[in-house]
Each structure stands twice: as C-alpha cells, then as structure tokens.
C-alpha cells in the first residue's frame, strides 16, 4: 500500500484507482473491491442461497434432513464471521467455539427456564433436580427474560471479544500467537463448563428443551419455522459481510492486514480496526450458537471445544476465506461431509480433517473459490487467452492477495 496522490496533497493527480479511494472517503467505494463480487452478482448469489435453503430444501427433504441442514446453516453463520476476520483481516480466529458456546448456553438457559416455568414459578430445570441442586444459580436469573436473553446473545460475546481483542492487538499480538491464544481461550471455556456439573450440566451439557419462545418444539411446523429463521439469519449475515467488505471500513481492514505499520502511519489505529472485525465475528458466532440449540436440541462442551473450533476454520479455508460466499459453501460442505463420513469412519474423520486443512493451505490457499481465477491465469499463461470475470474489474486482482501458504 502506498500513499495516494490525494494523500500527498495533490488531488488533481489522482488516478482511477485513487479516485475510488476518494469516493470511499464518503463511506463506500465507487468501484469494485478486490475479491468482492459486483452488486448484481452478490445479490443474485444471496437470492440463490435463500431459494436453495428456504424453498428447495423443505420441498425435497424430510424433517430429519431439514434439521440436519439447519445445523449446517448455524455453522455457516459462524463461518461468515471467520471469513470476515481471517480472510479480510488476517486474524486466524481458532477459538470461535467460545463465542458459539456463549450464545448457545445463554439460549439453552432461557429455554430450560421457560420450560420449568410451565411447571410452577419456583420450578427448576430437570437436571438440577436430579443433581440435588435445590436453588437456581444467580447467573441463571436474568435469562428468565426473553429480551435479556437476546441482548445477552449479542452483547456478551461483543464484550468478551472487545476486551480480549483490544488488549491483544494493542500489544501487536498476531499470527500464530493470536491463534494459540484463541485456542487457549476455547480450551479454558470447555474445561470450565465441564466442571460445572450442578449448574450447567457439566460434560453432559444442557438438553431436553420443549419450547422456543413459546413455540412447542414437538410441532413440525415450529421446527420448520426455526429452520427458516436460521436460514434468514444466514442470508442477513452474508449481506452484512458484503456491505462491510465494500465499505470504507472493509478496505481499511484489508489494508491493515496487508500493511499494519503503513495504516498506522496514515493516522489510523490498526488495533481498533482489528478489534471491530473480531467483535463482529464473535457476535456472528454467538448468534449461530443460539440458533443451534433449538435446532439440535442439546449443547455440551464437546460442541464448542478445540476440535469444533478447528472444524469451523477448516470449512472456511476449504471454501475460500477471502471470498463472500466461500466460507458459507465451505462450511456447509465440510459439515455435510462430517455428518456423512464420520458415521462410516468415526475414528478416521479427525485425521481426514487435518489432512484437508494442510492440503488446502499448501496447495490451494485461496480455497475452492479461487479455482476459477487459477484456471483463467493458467489459460492466460499458456497463451490461449482468458475471459475476464464479469463479476470483477479486470484492473483489480480477482482474489485476496494473502501470502501463499501462510495462515495469516
């Protein structure tokens, strides 16, 4: 990244690319952004995604399969945030399971309290009765309210991620060190939950939900409504990510990833920029966890630990971390593969996941989303000509220029 003519105090000498930067100063880039599809393609892709998930899936699949795909959709919501933080911001967030767990456990506590309220005002969740705990823990009390629960799902992960991210980024912690600290966070959260047998179900987690905000989970129509709600949230998150990528902040985030010191030299605070992206990813993970609970019917430490956090990253890497739809499609594909292959090869799936991540990082760092660009480049190099991507400006690189073979 170099200083533009405008930044040097010579606006009249600004070229076409710099003109876009100048337009970005008013809040949104006027031209295409590297690695981001044009508006028509982006909105068309969102429409296709919505039709496929919200119309075709319920039309051609049964209730069990729809619930399974609903679980994949929740994981895809997490992947959108990882794509934003990792693909655009260069932060390898390998601890998203912690924020996924915050949203999931908050929603689970509210649902269990709502079910217990049907038996009486002082009734306790069943697992507390079985464990001999005769008093409701203090930190459960706020989640009797649905409004407080929804606010907590959004604000609690934002608070944790904001404090953690700002303290790390201010100290210029990044790369592998940031990833390791994220893994330590999620491991600590999982160990903490396992030790809370009387208050949070321990290793068994929380389950046995009967209702979701007054809707009976035994009714197939209500189950389908929750599935459609999750799909709608996923499409909304993709739209939010698209808007962020095309915004002035999105360009600043990429500039911070590629040249943090130069961004600081220009007067911006890289720590603040990275913290905002990290908080956004944490909030998306928490929302995904909150929707995961009524669809799957259980949340336990095994769903939010180190291994699930790595699985989130693998899906994003496979799909293409720098693209708009790559993280979503990668997460859906890897979740489907896990659901199918783990039953046939239960002991070999973890090794396959690790091998898949290594192969993608080494051989295809841009993920499946970069295959088209690599194919066009190969054709151009071989002298057969190339066809410009209608969704990108030929003057712009079609994909994120992340260093090959690196994790940041």
Instruction: Please write the tens of the pLDDT for every residue from 265-277.
Output: 988 999 999 999 9
In angstroms, what CA-CA distances link 275 with 84, 176, 282? Answer: 12, 17, 10
Residue 4 pLDDT grade (very low, low, confident, very high; cuts 50, 70, 90):
very low
Q: Which position has the token pair 């655009």?
A: 88
Give pLDDT, residue 13: 40
**CA distance linking residue 48 with residue 19, whole number of Å:** 33
Please, which pLDDT band fits residue 372 given cuts at 50, 70 and 90?
confident
Report how far apart, in Å, the C-alpha atoms of 135 and of each of 96, 129, 146, 384 are: 32, 9, 21, 74
Residue tagged 């979701």 (tokens): 212
pLDDT at 384: 59
The domain locations on the chain are 42-305
Mean pLDDT over residues 50-75, rounded? 93
265 burial type by CB count under 10 A (0-12 exposed, 13-18 middle, 19+ buried): exposed
pTM here is: 0.84
pLDDT for residue 6: 41
Contact 111, 304 (CB under 8 A): no
């Amino acid at each position: 990244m170099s200083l533009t003519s405008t930044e040097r105090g010579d606006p009249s000498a600004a070229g076409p690319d710099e003109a876009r930067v100048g337009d970005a100063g008013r809040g949104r880039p006027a031209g295409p952004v590297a690695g981001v599809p044009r508006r028509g393609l982006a909105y068309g892709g969102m429409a296709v995604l919505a039709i496929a998930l919200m119309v075709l899936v319920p039309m051609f699949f049964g209730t069990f399969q729809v619930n399974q795909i609903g679980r994949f959709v929740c994981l895809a919501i997490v992947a959108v945030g990882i794509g934003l933080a990792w693909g655009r911001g260069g932060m390898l967030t390998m601890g998203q399971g912690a924020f996924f767990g915050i949203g999931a456990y908050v929603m689970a506590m509210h649902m269990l309290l709502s079910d217990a309220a049907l038996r009486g005002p002082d009734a306790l969740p069943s697992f507390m009765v079985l464990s001999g705990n005769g008093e409701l823990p203090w930190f459960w009390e706020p989640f009797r309210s649905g409004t407080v629960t929804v606010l907590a799902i959004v604000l609690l992960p934002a608070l944790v991620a904001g404090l953690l991210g700002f303290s790390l980024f201010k100290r210029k912690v990044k790369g592998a060190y940031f990833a390791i600290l994220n893994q330590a966070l999620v491991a600590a959260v999982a160990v903490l939950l396992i030790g809370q047998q009387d208050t949070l179900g321990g290793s068994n987690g929380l389950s046995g939900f009967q209702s979701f905000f007054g809707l009976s989970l035994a009714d197939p129509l209500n189950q389908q409504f929750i599935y459609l709600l999750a799909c709608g949230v996923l499409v909304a998150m993709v739209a939010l990510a698209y808007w962020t990528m095309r915004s002035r902040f999105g360009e600043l985030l990429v500039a911070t990833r590629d040249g943090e010191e130069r961004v600081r030299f220009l007067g911006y605070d890289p720590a603040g920029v990275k913290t905002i992206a990290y908080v956004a990813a944490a909030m998306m993970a928490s929302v995904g966890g909150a929707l995961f609970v009524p669809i799957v019917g259980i949340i336990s430490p095994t769903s939010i630990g180190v291994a699930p956090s790595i699985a989130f990253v693998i899906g994003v890497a496979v799909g293409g971390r720098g693209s708009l739809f790559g993280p979503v499609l990668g997460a859906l594909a890897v979740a489907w593969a896990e659901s199918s292959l783990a039953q046939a090869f239960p002991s070999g799936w973890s090794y396959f996941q690790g091998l898949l991540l290594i192969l993608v990082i080494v051989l295809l760092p841009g993920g499946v989303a970069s295959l088209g660009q690599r194919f066009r480049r190969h054709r151009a190099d071989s002298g057969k000509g190339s066809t410009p991507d209608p969704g990108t400006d030929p003057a712009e690189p079609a994909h994120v220029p992340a260093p090959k073979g690196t994790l940041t």
